[in-house]
Amino acid sequence: GAVVSQHPSWVICKSGTSVKIECRSLDFQATTMFWYRQFPKQSLMLMATSNEGSKATYEQGVEKDKFLINHASLTLSTLTVTSAHPEDSSFYICSARAGQLTGELFFGEGSRLTVL
Amino acid sequence: GEDVEQSLFLSVREGDSSVINCTYTDSSSTYLYWYKQEPGAGLQLLTYIFSNMDMKQDQRLTVLLNKKDKHLSLRIADTQTGDSAIYFCAESGKDGGSQGNLIFGKGTKLSVKP
């Protein structure tokens, strides 16, 4: 199947700093990528849709100034958590669509963020 | 509203069959999915079923869909210890999931005992 890779896998940072997470489609081009957040023992929640060459579309309740998304190329989307706080600690997962089947999403390995 | 429900835990012995159940609420969902998440990892698409199908079999996996009752199940035959993971059921919702906003259940943690 298609491969989506995230980096870093885990990151620990101090409160107030910014952290960038990369999501790459390794063997296909993705005009659209998606960013999710997963709390412990909870399901995934879609945060935003990242569109190559245009602004991201954020879900209701997600602060766009807090979670900056940049989709600069057909294989790379980045999520920057700005001025991170402990409540931002979570597991962040990206996905990208590959193939013709609507809704066929491939997910990255996830990035665990811990804010001290 | 849209909601997907799953039981949280399932424990089976190696070699037995596992059945993970899921109920969803959006009858207009076009696709229904099963994803597997191993510890510390992202989600892996296991299989999916189109809403006009009743059953889909893929090697050890069998998906059954009861559209009338909005019930989806995943059966894993000859369950192995490597199958231990969290299994997420997801529905595509009204737009067929084209916007990436699949609606996920909270996941069923499958433990396989040797």
pLDDT tens digit string along B6-32? Answer: 998 999 999 999 999 999 987 777 788
Residues of chain B with Cβ-Cβ distance to A107 below 8 Å are 35, 42-45
**Residues of B within an 8 Å Cβ radius of A:** 4, 8, 30-31, 33, 35, 40-45, 48, 88, 92, 96-102, 104-107
pLDDT of residue B45: 84
Quote the radius of gyration of chain A (alpha carbons, Å): 13
At B96 the pLDDT is: 59
Contacts of residue B82, Cβ cutoff 8 Å, sequence gap at least 6: none
- Cα–Cα distances in angstroms (integers) from residue B114 to residues A72, A105, A113, B86, in the given order: 48, 33, 33, 18
Comparing B45 with A67, the larger pLDDT belongs to A67
**Cα A110 off chain centre by:** 8
Query: Please, what is the end-to-end C-alpha distance for chain A in angstroms?
Result: 37
Closest CA to A33 of A109, A110, A114, A107: A107
Task: Tell me if chain B has a CB within 8 Å of the CB of A6.
Answer: yes
3-class SS at B83?
Answer: helix
Q: How many beta-carbon pairs under 8 angstroms link A with B? A: 66
- Grouped pLDDT means (10 residues each) for chain A, 116 residues: 86 96 91 87 84 88 94 92 95 80 74 94
What is the model's pLDDT at position A64?
Answer: 93
| Whole-number Cα distances in Å, A37 to A48, A62, A95, A110, B18 | 10, 11, 11, 9, 28
Residue B11: predicted pLDDT: 96
Contact criterion met (CB < 8 Å) for A46 and B43: no
Give the model's confidence band at B95: pLDDT under 50 very low, under 70 low, under 90 confident, else very high. Answer: low
- Interior angle at CA A90, CA A56 and CA A52, nearest 5: 20
Q: Does A26 touch chain B (CB under 8 A)?
A: no
Cβ-proximal residues to A60 (8 Å cutoff; 6+ apart), any chain: none
Report d(CA A44, CA B88) in Å as an integer: 9
Distance from CA of A110 to the nearest CA of B (A): 5
Q: Say if CB B57 and CB B86 are below 8 A apart.
A: no
The answer to whether A28 faces chain B, any CB pair under 8 Å, is no
Buried b (16+ CB within 10 A) or exposed e, B94-110: eeebebbbbbbbbbbbb
Q: How far is B46 from chain A (nearest CA, A)?
A: 10
Residue A40 forms contact with B (CB below 8 Å): no
Closest approach of A101 to chain B, Cα-based (Å): 9
Smallest CA-to-CA distance from B88 within B37, B28, B54 is with B37
CB A101 within 8 A of CB A1: no
Integer Cα distance of B80 and A91 in angstroms: 27
